[in-house]
């Protein structure tokens, strides 16, 4: 398992960075999802570095528990930031497509995301909710 992580996770990390770069074209429509892939990439990198150190220093395999504990702590304390995904539209409950799940922050389906007047209230409420945690940072 250590060899697998040490050999393969660097490419997994690069894949996440590429994903993060692809998300750039959505700009502020997807900034939360972009931050999420960045944190996920850091978590992958922590595990990769942990496995590398264990292999290079010939440490017991049980030391992999340390990077795993760090990752678990990140997941625990920043769950909403690391995993901001919703499978269904937060307004109507319709299933979202891949783009809406992984790229766009709104978590709204294409029907609810169109600029009809009846949707404006929902969207501005959502913006206020999203605005407050960012102000804390
Ligand atoms: Zn909807």
Q: Convert the pLDDT of each residue in 67-98 to its tens digit.
A: 999 999 999 999 999 999 999 999 999 999 99
Over residues 31-46, the mean pLDDT reads 97
The predicted structure's pLDDT at residue 60: 96
- 17 Cα to the center of ligand 1, angstroms: 30
Q: Domain check: are 75 and 94 in the same one?
A: no
Q: What is the pLDDT of residue 86?
A: 97
For residues 137 and 124, give the distance between their C-alpha atoms in angstroms, rounded to a whole number. 21
Q: Compute, in angstroms, the gap from residue 91 CA to the centroid of ligand 1.
A: 5
Alpha helix segments (H runs only) across the chain:
2-23, 31-56, 65-77, 79-82, 98-102, 110-113, 117-136
Q: How confident is the model at residue 128 (pLDDT cuts 50, 70, 90)?
A: low
132 domain residue, yes or no: no
Q: Could you tell me if residue 101 is inside a domain?
A: yes
Query: Could you tell me the pTM of the whole model?
Result: 0.79
Q: Are the beta carbons of 54 and 63 closer than 8 angstroms? A: yes
Range of the domain at 115: 87-121
Task: Identify whether 137 is part of a domain.
Answer: no
Number of domains in the chain: 2
Quick check: 134 pLDDT over 60? Answer: no
Is the domain of 37 the same as that of 104? Answer: no
Question: Of 84, 112, 132, which residue constitutes the final position of a domain?
Answer: 84
Q: How far is the CA of 82 from the centre of ligand 1 (A)?
A: 23
pLDDT exceeds cutoff 90 at 115 = no
Q: Does 134 reside within a domain?
A: no
Q: Are residues 67 and 103 in the same domain?
A: no
Domain contains 127 = no
Residue 95 and residue 32 share a domain: no
- The answer, yes or no, to whether residue 136 has pLDDT greater than 50, is no
């Amino acid at each position: 398992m250590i060899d697998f992580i040490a050999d393969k996770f660097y490419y997994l990390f690069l894949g996440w960075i590429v994903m993060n770069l692809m998300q750039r074209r959505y700009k502020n429509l997807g900034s939360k999802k972009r931050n999420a892939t960045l944190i996920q990439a850091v978590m992958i990198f922590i595990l990769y570095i942990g496995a590398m150190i264990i292999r290079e220093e010939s440490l017991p395999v049980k030391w992999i528990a340390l990077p795993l504990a760090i990752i678990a702590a990140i997941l625990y304390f920043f769950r909403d930031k690391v995993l901001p995904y919703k499978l269904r539209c937060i307004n109507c409950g319709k299933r979202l497509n891949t783009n809406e799940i992984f790229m766009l922050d709104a978590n709204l389906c294409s029907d609810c995301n169109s600029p009809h007047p009846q949707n404006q209230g929902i969207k501005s409420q959502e913006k206020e909710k999203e605005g407050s945690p960012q102000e804390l940072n």
